[in-house]
Amino acid sequence: MDADTDELLRLAFAQAPANLANVAITRMRAEVGGESSRGISYELLLPDGNVRTWLLDTVLPRLVDYLESIGAKLPRCGGVFLSVFSGDTLHFIHARDVIALLSGWSGLSSDELKRRYGPR
């Protein structure tokens, strides 16, 4: 595992075996959402290499657009978590933590991310 992948996956607040993904994601939706709502899972399958480039070039624009479009406004990204598949493990990471990491990697603030990648 490269350093960028390790840095991302260290943000996980929970893990599960990937072969139990459906059950685990359903459980996380209930836990993250709380009593009055259900959390939203944004699922990713990490590539074997060039993780930082892939996250910044491919995932970040789409994730920001998605979050802003559903009303999970940056930087808090309320109720959204990423279900990140890496090998045989599923890692659950709050969207706010992924946005903070990618904001740091890109050098762009949350406001700049919204301007560049948010809905038009």
Question: For residue 59, what are its two tokens?
Answer: 């995932």
pLDDT in tens, 33-59: 877 688 999 999 999 989 999 999 999
Tell me the average pLDDT across 87-99: 97
Looking at residue 33, its pLDDT comes to: 81
Query: Bridge-partner residues for 89, per DSSP?
Result: 17, 86
Q: Given this model, what pLDDT does residue 15 score?
A: 98
With CA atoms as reference, report the closest residue to 93 among 34, 5, 2. 5
pTM here is 0.95
List, as one string, the DSSP characters of 48-110. Answer: SS-HHHHIIIIIHHHHHHHHHHHT--TTT-TTEEEEEEETTEEEEEEHHHHHHHHHHHHT--H
